[in-house]
Amino acid sequence: MRLLMILTLALSAPLAHAGARAQLDAFGAGMTGMAADFEQRVHAPDGELLETSSGNLKLRAPRQFRWEVVKPFPQLIVADGTHVWIHDPDLDQVTVRIQSHEEQGSPLSVLVDPTELDRQFKVSEGGRSDGLSWLLLDPRNAQESAFESARLGFDAGALVVMEMSDGLGQRTEVRFSDWQRNPAFDAATFAFTPPRGADVVGEMAQAAEVMPLAD
């Protein structure tokens, strides 16, 4: 599963017709955290809808995020700053990855760390269509990226939609709503401990130690 995480905020009306790069730059001023709801759709190369999911996301600068799928099947992805944890309750399985590896080539990185935008991507303005200002992202290291191209659609300083296409022509669309700027997150939001009895697979930093939750 692709890790599709990205965020923005509503700003003032004068940004409605500004370029997408300007809107992306403007949203980050003073940002320490974000929360929003999302709806994700995956399309086959011929346009057929393959799957849909919905849930919520939370992000705290510089490197923590929580992506929770609620429907149709629960799944939780938590990045704690060192690792990315993926919990599939139906499978009773936890996959863990070192976060620095997971972040490479992800559009998420341009929001948690704006300096990554030009380092990781070739960036260009995509003009206006469908009522949105579009920013186009092409990975500089295509071999390590999960997608071949991406575009971000903004309206009045808010990110409305992110679209990503892979080398086989499959397209993933994520739409966002109900943005919250700098919400108060509790201490457990960006922490994860595998449930007791869950199968834990993947790669961890050498200094890390994982203890399952007690009954």
In this structure, is residue 210 part of a structural domain? no
Confidence band for 128, pLDDT divided at 50, 70 and 90: very high
d(C-alpha 151, C-alpha 147), whole Å: 11
Number of structural domains the chain divides into: 1
Q: Give a yes or no: residue 6 inside a domain.
A: no
Q: Parallel, antiparallel, or unpaired: how do β-strands 171-181 and 158-165 relate?
A: antiparallel
Domain for residue 126, yes or no? Answer: yes
Residue 191 lies in domain: 13-202
When comparing pLDDT for 110 and 191, which is higher?
191
**Residue 14: what pLDDT?**
39
Does residue 213 form part of some domain?
A: no
Q: Note whether residue 211 is domain-resident.
A: no
Q: Which CATH number characterizes residue 168's domain?
A: 2.50.20.10
Least confident of 71-75, 105-109, 121-125, 129-133: 105-109
CB 132 within 8 A of CB 154: yes
Reported as a pLDDT band with limits 50, 70 and 90, residue 7 is very low
Task: Write the pLDDT tens digit of every residue in 159-199.
Answer: 899 999 988 899 999 999 998 888 999 989 999 999 999 99
Distance CA 7, CA 134 (A): 15
Asked, for residue 4, whether it belongs to a domain, the answer is: no
Q: State residue 85's pLDDT score.
A: 95
- Segment 59-66 mean pLDDT: 86
Average pLDDT over residues 84-96: 95
Instruction: Say whether pLDDT at 106 is over 80.
Output: no
Rounded to an integer, what distance in angstroms lies between the CA atom of residue 7 and that of residue 33? 9
How much is the average pLDDT of 15-27? 71
Q: What is the rounded CA–CA span in Å between residue 19 and residue 135?
A: 8
**pTM, whole model, 2 decimals?**
0.79
Specify if 207 maps to a domain.
Answer: no
pLDDT surpasses 60 at 105: no
- What is the separation, in whole angstroms, between the first and last Cα of the chain? 29
Residue 1 falls inside a structural domain: no
